[in-house]
Amino acid sequence: MTDIPAGKVWDFLARYLPWLGTPGVLKAVVLLNALTFLLVGLDPAYAGTLALIPEKIREGEVWRLVTYIFIPQTTSWFWVFFLLLFMWFLASALEEQWGALKLNVFYLVGMIGCTIAAFFFGGGSSNTFLNLSLFFAFATIAPNYEIFLFFVLRVRVKYIAWMLAAMLALQLALLPLPAKAAMAASLTNYLLFFLPGLVMNWRTQRRDAVRLAGFRGPVESALHSCHTCGRTEVSDPGLDFRVAADGEEYCREHLPSATNR
């Protein structure tokens, strides 16, 4: 279950910033990743002109605020094929689920988070966490969706998400405070969109569990109960019960005399 900003916010954005609802933006990002991979293959230094480097941006190379999202985080033809194919799948699935507006805003907030991480906390200049946030979003929306890893291993996305989250938690525990802040800033979009809902769901489940435990008791599991005294075979295992002529069930002690034999 997701928890995203109120509908009025989306209505406002759709009305006053309609360009945010342009469909297919993330698919275009995937295609530009493929193009950048080819160009970097011809000239490895090309990636350096696109990377999110705060010093260069301060010098006027403002295009880096956007172009870093086009740099694939691999130089392997094998891995880039699976990476871009999976990104295309995520883009299609999330846009179908959310619509273009919400997906584009989610990605834009992630870009802002990555920029904050780079400028204020010394975070990395890659789009790794930005792309990872897309996967976490999909795994939260459709946790039981099954994919074939490398077209061979069938697995539910929630298990992959848990494994990746555990790896991130381990890194978070070992990193210094500025690096922790950078990681959190890079995942701002996921935290903003989903954390409130996840916390609310956890509290609701915990509250329901406490209530259920409070309702459980000996009478609940009893099959017989005396209409007069309320005792059951659970509260008093030695009791014998009978149904009287009035249709009610009684223990031997309170069974009406007409039927007590």
Sorted by where each begins, the domain ranges of the chain are 7-202, 219-254
pLDDT of residue 96: 95
Split at pLDDT 50, 70, 90, the class of 259 is very low
pLDDT of residue 218: 45
Give the C-alpha separation, 29 to 24, whole Å. Answer: 9
Give the C-alpha separation, 141 to 136, whole Å. Answer: 9
Cβ proximity of 226 and 36 under 8 Å: no
Does 245 or 94 have the greater pLDDT score? 94
Query: Residue 235, class by beta-carbon neighbours within 10 Å (0-12 exposed, 13-18 middle, 19+ buried)?
Result: middle
Split at pLDDT 50, 70, 90, the class of 244 is confident
Does 237 or 11 have the greater pLDDT score? 11
Cβ proximity of 256 and 244 under 8 Å: yes
Percent pLDDT > 90 in the chain is 48
Q: Which long-range contacts (CB under 8 A, 24 or more apart) does 174-178 make?
A: 178/121, 178/122
Does 213 or 204 have the greater pLDDT score? 204
Q: Is the pLDDT of residue 260 over 90?
A: no
Q: Is the pLDDT of residue 257 over 90?
A: no
Strand pairing class (241-243; 249-251) = antiparallel
Name, of 51-55, 203-207, 220-224, the range with top average pLDDT. 51-55
- Average pLDDT, whole number, for the chain? 85
Q: And the tokens for 256?
A: 């009406």
Q: Residue range 200-224: average pLDDT?
A: 66
pLDDT of residue 195: 83
pLDDT of residue 175: 79
pLDDT tens digits along 122-134: 766 678 889 999 9
pLDDT tens digits along 18-44: 999 999 999 999 999 999 999 999 999
pLDDT of residue 123: 64
Q: Residue range 180-184: average pLDDT?
A: 81
Q: And the tokens for 31?
A: 């295609």
- Quote the DSSP letter at residue 234: T
DSSP-assigned states of every residue in 189-220? HHHHHHHHHHHHHHHHHHHHHHHHHHH--HHH
Which superfamily does CATH assign the domain made up of 7-202 to?
Rhomboid-like (1.20.1540.10)
Split at pLDDT 50, 70, 90, the class of 214 is low
What are the residues facing 249 on neighbouring strands?
A: 243
Q: Is the pLDDT of residue 215 over 80?
A: no
Split at pLDDT 50, 70, 90, the class of 63 is very high
pLDDT of residue 207: 74
Cβ proximity of 52 and 64 under 8 Å: yes
Give the C-alpha separation, 193 to 198, whole Å. Answer: 10
